[in-house]
Amino acid sequence: MTSKEIRQQFLDFFASKQHKIVPSAPVVPFNDPTLLFTNAGMNQFKDVFLATGSRNYKRAADTQKCIRVSGKHNDLEEVGHDTYHHTFFEMLGNWSFGDYYKKEAIRWAWELLTEVWKLPKERLFATIYRTDDEAMEFWKSETDIKHEHILRFDEKDNFWEMGETGPCGPCSEIHINLSDNYEDPSLVNAGSPLCIEIWNLVFIQYNRDEHGKLHDLPAKHVDTGMGFERVCAVIQNKKSNYDTDVFSPLINEISKLSGIKYEKEEDSIAMRVIADHIRTLTFAIGDGAMPGNEGRGYVLRRILRRAARYGRKLNLTKPFFYKLVDVLVSTMGDVFPEIAEKKDYIKKVIKAEEENFNATLDRGIDLFDDIIKRLKNENKKVIPGKDVFRLYDTFGFPVDLTNVMAQEQGFTIDEKVFDKLMNEQKNRAREASKNKFASITINENDLSSFNIDDENPTLFTGYNELSTTAKVLGFKHEEEAAFIILDRTPLYVEAGGQIDDHGKITINGKVYDVVDVVKIENKVVHVVFGSGIKLNKNDEVKIDVDSERRWDIMRNHSATHFLHNALRTVLGTHVQQAGSYVGPDRLRFDFTHFSKMSEEEIRRVEKIVNEQLRKNISLNHHRNIPFDDAKKMGAMMFFGDKYGDKVNVVQFGDFTMEFCGGTHVQNSSQIGLFKILSEASIASGVRRIEAVTGAGAENYIYEQLEKIKLQDEKVNLLNDEKRHLEKEIASLKFKAKLGQINFILNQKEDINGLPVYKAEVDADNMDELKAFGDELRNRMKSGIGILFAKVEDKALIIAVVSDDLVKEKKLSAGKIVGDIAKMLGGGGGGRPHLATAGGKDVAGIPAALASVEEVVKKYL
Ligand code: ATP
Ligand code: MG
């Protein structure tokens, strides 16, 4: 059975049970800000379950396009590595809205699986929620499943929720055990590819609110979801979804494009990932999403890049991904016409993204080549961990890709150091997310190993300067990294949400990147990669901050303070900062507030902030003042933070004054434009705003313009197509009209032995009438033809005479048409074989038709 038939049989089955078959909702939910992508069939009915909306039917069924790459349901990591999770898949579902409940849901699911599709009963298992005795009862009374195949599980497996909030309830799942031990219940819910969940019957009876509390819904509903690709694999007797006809055309095309067979596990993983990801990209773009730098767009961009990187494993280095759209459209475009309609647009978007990403990768490859050249000169065969890390961190090269590239050149990579650097980065991220004045330890290093005799803290000079000369207090070299402690530094160490500065250090005239700054106790350690660095205590080094980046950070940090106060102005003083991230590219601000901000509230906040920024307010930086004084001034504290005796307070006019150790612009107008990108919930009662300033806002504008341009191009394309179609329709219409000639040919008259044809035809203008004349002349062979048409308030006439009559009888169409036109109050003429004329007397056409015989006779 083909997948197409399977899909149809599902729909037919539920149609026969009085279900209305509804179309799939778009994968991009336009009216649900809590969801990035549609992740289940029930999404489009959420309002029905919550009783905030209704439908004029009580039972529905459909196949729903789903994407699971973010939020509560995220299957990205599984994809390709297993055989049954996809980022995009179809969920077949049937629903009852306060109509039937567990009994029918269970009976019909069983009937479809075992009677229509004839799945082997002995391999099927049903799971139910721990306490759901009702479901247990119905499995026993409504089906002939083996009783020992009904298994109880707890919340983790048998309580379904769409997201952190929303409709939910206990569920009953159907699993199939395809292993040799098919009666073995221990495989159920154990993550085995041979025993998978195919269908989930959810009994929706609760709504979970923002505080996590369950409330009874006004009515009980059924919401089921079956994995279409999984059930196809089972019915088609395949071990993997990718072996079904849903995926094989894609896999074959990838194989063709790469020239690599779908055989070796490593290649196969790459092919599966690519086949999966093209579906997600195509459907998401088809439904209006775009790869980009934020939210949904960012998720898509990451997925596309992931596919491109896997493509490189198959030696696909040029844009190739977009080429798969054709195959996908040819297999699914009839069921989901939206992807067929937008095919060219989708291809264009994907191709542009691929080209963009390839440019980044190519820069990485240049770097890689440099590294290899350098190592060859040094007669080395191992790529140092820091280089592998840089390729990963800056150019997005996964380690295995670097490894493959290294092997090709006869090199290996130092994975140990790479892992270490990765771990450090992860630790940093973890610490950063804790959002405290974080101190990061460099593995086992602590200050004692530096033998420092100076007790003073490293002085942070970065409030006033971005470059300084500093004295070495301590120094250590380990493998290829140097750790340098200085008496002073302009580099900011991540704290209070503001991330580390990047910078350079000049040692004996040589410049090195400072790859990390870490605070250990009261000292700042500068981490520098490079071999052979030699330093002694009290040596002097020059140290510079990457100032462009720092300026971006300062803009974002100062803007955060303005944002904080604007939120309190618009939403109320219950708004408290709950965390923040300040980087060069964007700022993130978490705050306490219980409901989603409206568009209008967001605009007001933006307006207030921008209005203040334009006021050119100077920074009033109170540094190192006693804590109590700061409190007395009324500076806002970050709740839950500990402060020392001496604190810094950052004030901009009378708009904002906060305790803050970060770095700031000197003047509000240096921030430029402030723009909010998104507002969303991150935990109950905590919201998150992401925003950009300065160059970030500028980039944002360009990105939006780019989007509009693409949309415009799309519109132009559609317009061209429309014009083309209109022309085609007009020409088809006219062809149909020309059929009238057959009728005219059948009404031949005979005047003195000569055939004469005459009629009024339905022509819209003289060109059409001429076409009629030509057609008649071609088809009548020998004879005289006279045709009339009414066009608006004019009578048009054409006369045609066949060549033989022009020659032998000296007949002239011009003369004939002239005589007739006179009768209609007009005139005209032309050549002997074809002539046209017009007249004003439209009402005279019947009389003129009648007098044709007379006129013709005159010339014989
Ligand atoms: P699993 O535990 O296998 O990830 P799930 O519990 O997340 O499944 P549900 O949320 O209940 O699945 O979704 C309903 C049905 O959709 C499942 O029974 C399964 O057949 C199918 N399904 C879920 N996630 C995927 C996916 N990522 N790819 C393909 N099918 C899926
Ligand atoms: Mg899942």
- Which ligand number lies closest to the CA of residue 196? 1
pLDDT of 301 higher than 60: yes
Return the ligand 1 atom nearest residue 202 CA. Answer: 11
Ligand 1 pocket check for 420: Cβ under 6 Å? no
Residue range 519-543, pLDDT digits in tens: 888 899 998 877 788 899 999 999 9
What's residue 383's pLDDT? 96
Q: Which amino acid, residue 812?
A: S
Whether ligand 1 lies within 6 angstroms of the CB of 227 is answered as: yes
pLDDT of residue 31: 61
The predicted-structure confidence for 177-224, as pLDDT tens digits, reads as follows 999 999 899 999 998 889 999 999 999 999 998 888 999 888 999 999
**For residues 299-319, average pLDDT:** 89
444 Cβ partners below 8 Å, 6+ apart? none
* pLDDT value for 250: 98
When pLDDT is cut at 50, 70 and 90, the band that residue 443 belongs to is: very low
Using N-to-C axis directions, what is the helix angle for 265-286 and 343-377, rounded to 10°?
140
Which H helix or E strand runs over 838? strand 834-839
pLDDT attached to residue 642: 59
Note the pLDDT of residue 529: 78
Query: Is 37's C-beta closer than 6 angstroms to any atom of ligand 1?
Result: no
Does the Cβ of 7 fall within 6 Å of ligand 1?
Answer: no
For residue 58, the CA-to-ligand 1 centroid distance in Å is: 25
Cα radius of gyration (the chain): 38
Query: Is any ligand 1 atom within 6 A of the Cβ of residue 82?
Result: no
Considering only CA atoms, which residue is closest to atom 11 of ligand 1? 200
User: What is the Å distance from ligand 1's center to 43 Cα?
Assistant: 15
Q: Taking each helix axis from N to C terminus, what angle separates 3-15 and 102-111, rounded to the nearest 10 degrees?
A: 140
Q: How confident is the model at residue 432 (pLDDT cuts 50, 70, 90)?
A: very low
Q: What is the pLDDT of residue 476?
A: 85
Give me the pLDDT at residue 660, please: 93
Ligand 1 atom closest to Cα of residue 171: 11
| 451 C-alpha to ligand 2 centroid (Å) | 53
Nearest atom of ligand 1 to the alpha carbon of 231: 20
Does the C-beta of 338 come closer than 6 Å to ligand 1? no
Distance 55 CA to ligand 1 centre (A): 26
The mean of the pLDDT values for the chain is: 90
> Could you say which ligand is closest to the alpha carbon of residue 69?
1
- E strands, 402-480, where? 412-413, 459-460, 467-478
Is residue 460 pLDDT above 50, yes or no? yes
Residues 35 and 71 sit within 8 Å (Cβ to Cβ): yes
CA distance 304 to 278: 8
Average pLDDT over residues 267-292: 93
Which one has a higher pLDDT value, 804 or 448?
A: 804
State in Å: Cα 293 to ligand 1 middle. 28
Q: Is the pLDDT of residue 438 over 80?
A: no
Tokens 């045709």 — which residue?
787
Residue 473 phi/psi, 5° resolution? -100, -30
User: CB–CB of 592/575 below 8 Å?
Assistant: yes
Contacts of residues 47-56 at CB distance under 8 Å and 24 or more positions apart, as own/partner, are 48/97, 48/221, 49/97, 49/167, 49/204, 49/207, 49/217, 49/221, 49/223, 50/166, 50/167, 50/207, 50/217, 51/217, 51/218, 51/219, 54/97, 55/97
Q: How far is the CA of 156 from the centre of ligand 2 (A)?
A: 11
Instruction: Label residues 158-194 b or e (16+ Cβ within 10 Å = b).
Output: bbbbbbbbbbbbbbbbbbbbbeeebeebebbbeebee
Q: Which residue has the tokens 């159907």?
A: 174
85 CB near ligand 1 (under 6 Å): yes
CA of 853 to the centre of ligand 1 (A): 82
Nearest CA to ligand 1 atom 8: 197
pLDDT, one tens digit per residue, over 661-683 is 999 999 999 999 999 999 998 77
Question: Using 50, 70 and 90 to split pLDDT, how confident is the model at 641?
Answer: low
Residues 6+ apart with CB under 8 A from 401: 309, 312, 313
86 CB under 6 A from ligand 1?
Answer: yes
Cβ of 68 less than 6 Å from ligand 1? yes
> What would the mean pLDDT of 344-362 be, rounded to a whole number?
85
Instruction: State the pLDDT at residue 431.
Output: 58
User: Quick check: CB of 250 below 6 Å from ligand 1?
Assistant: no
Residue 173 to residue 171: CA distance in whole angstroms: 6
The ligand 1 atom nearest the CA atom of 75? 27
Which ligand does the CA of 156 lie closest to?
Answer: 1
Q: Is any atom of ligand 1 closer than 6 Å to the C-beta of 75?
A: yes
Q: Which one of the ligands is nearest to 240 CA? A: 1
Query: Following CA atoms 508, 512, 518, 520 in sequence, which dihedral angle do they give, to the nearest 10 degrees?
Result: -20
Q: What gap in Å lies between CA 551 and CA 680, rounded to an integer?
A: 27
Q: What is the band of 440 on the pLDDT scale with cuts at 50, 70, 90?
A: very low
* Ligand 1 contact via 343 beta carbon (within 6 Å): no
**pLDDT over 70 (residue 439):** no
What is the residue type of 728? E
Q: Higher model confidence: residue 596 or residue 606? A: 606
Nearest CA to ligand 1 atom 14: 225
Residue nearest to atom 7 of ligand 1 (CA): 73
In angstroms, rounded to a whole number, what is the distance separating the alpha carbons of residues 783 and 750?
9
| Pocket probe mutation, ligand 1, options 89, 92, 199, max atoms within 8 Å of Cβ | 89
pLDDT of residue 162 exceeding 80: no
Q: Which two tokens stand for residue 813?
A: 């169409």
Nearest-CA residue for ligand 1 atom 12 is 200
Per-residue model confidence (pLDDT) at position 447: 75
Distance CA 605, CA 571 (A): 9
- Using a 6 Å cutoff on CB, does residue 197 contact ligand 1? yes
Residue ID of nearest Cα to ligand 1 atom 1: 197
Strand, coil or helix: what is 258? helix
261 vs 299, residue with greater confidence:
261
Q: 225 in ligand 1 pocket by Cβ < 6 Å? A: yes
To test the pocket of ligand 1, the residue of 230, 240, 246, 277 to mutate (highest count of ligand atoms within 8 Å of its CB) is 230
The residue contributing the CA closest to ligand 1 atom 24 is 85
Nearest CA to ligand 1 atom 31: 227
pLDDT above 60: residue 436: no
Q: Distance from the CA of 87 to the center of ligand 1, in angstroms?
A: 10
- The rounded Å distance from CA 264 to ligand 2 centre is 27
**Which ligand 1 atom sits nearest the alpha carbon of residue 225?**
14
Phi, psi of 780 (to 5 degrees): -85, -10
Q: CA–CA separation, 770 vs 785, rounded Å?
A: 12
Is the pLDDT assigned to residue 129 strictly greater than 90?
A: yes
Rounded to two decimals, the pTM is 0.52
If you measure from the C-alpha of residue 197 to the centroid of ligand 1, how many angstroms do you get, rounded to a whole number?
A: 7
| pLDDT more than 70, % of the chain | 96
Output the pLDDT for position 92: 98
